[in-house]
Amino acid sequence: MELKNLIREIPNFPKSGIIFRDITTLLSNPDGLHDTIDILTEKCLKFEFKLDYVVGIESRGFIFGMPLAYQLNVGFIPVRKPGKLPAEVYSVSYDLEYGQDSLEMHKDAMPRGSQVLVIDDLLATGGTAVATTQLMEKANCNLVGFGFVIELKDLGGRQKLPKVPIISLIEY
């Protein structure tokens, strides 16, 4: 199945000149969703790294990260927006186009030295992925790779990421 055919394009959203890549049409297609998880799993297994956890970035990283963690038989760790996690957290702020945002992760989410794979739906400018990398550093964990369903290559996010394997299933 060609996954790219299941992504709806919405012109001029959220502002004029932008083409929004909407994954809800992929998610609602049972075969497409199944293939997405299977392909991510397949690609992860090709890298022979030891893996302890899949880290999913809020919120669409949860959608793909949970079933991937299940398939890889590892734990799942959520990285959330501020104020969503009840225990003590590591926090990292990062710049947006107009302002700042933050991401958080429980300090006791995983032991020091854990091998982690970060998953999200989209790699664009790389801001949330870089912030998540900083959370992994604060937790003294080893980032072994990234996985994305979609990569917007023209925005250069890949170049901002550490030199680890990067999986992207669909490129624009």
pLDDT digits (tens, 9 = 90+) for 27-76: 999 999 999 999 999 999 998 889 999 999 999 999 999 999 999 999 99
Which position among 48, 88, 97, 112 bears the catalytic label?
97
- Measured CA to CA, the distance from residue 170 to residue 102 in angstroms comes to 27
In the prediction, which pLDDT does 96 show? 77
- φ, ψ at 154 (rounded to 5°): -65, -20
Element (H, E) at 46: helix 30-46
Q: Is residue 56 part of a domain?
A: yes
Exposed, middle or buried, 96 (CB in 10 Å: 0-12/13-18/19+)?
exposed
The pLDDT, as a whole number, for residue 49 is 84
- Answer yes or no: are the C-beta atoms of 60 and 122 closer than 8 Å: yes
Tell me if residue 158 is catalytic.
no
Write down the pLDDT at residue 95.
Answer: 85
CATH code assigned at 111: 3.40.50.2020
State phi, psi for 125 to the nearest 5 degrees: -85, -15
What pLDDT shows up at residue 145? Answer: 97
Domain assignment of residue 35, yes or no:
no
Q: How many CB atoms lie within 10 A of CB 105?
A: 24
| Predicted local confidence at residue 99, as pLDDT | 79
Tokens of 138: 């604060």
Q: Which residue in the block uniquely carries the two structure tokens 């299940």?
A: 70
How many domains does the chain contain in total? 1
For residue 4, tell me if it sits in a domain. Answer: no
Domain that holds residue 103: 41-171
Is 16 part of any domain? no
Asked, for residue 104, whether it belongs to a domain, the answer is yes
Per-residue pLDDT of the chain (172 residues; tens, 9 = 90+): 799 999 999 999 999 999 999 999 999 999 999 999 999 999 999 988 899 999 999 999 999 999 999 999 999 999 999 999 999 999 999 987 677 999 999 999 999 999 999 999 999 999 999 999 999 999 999 999 999 999 999 999 999 999 999 999 999 9
Assess if residue 22 is contained within a domain.
Answer: no
Residue 15 included in any domain? no
9 catalytically annotated: no
Active-site hit among 21, 60, 104, 151: 60
In a domain? residue 9: no
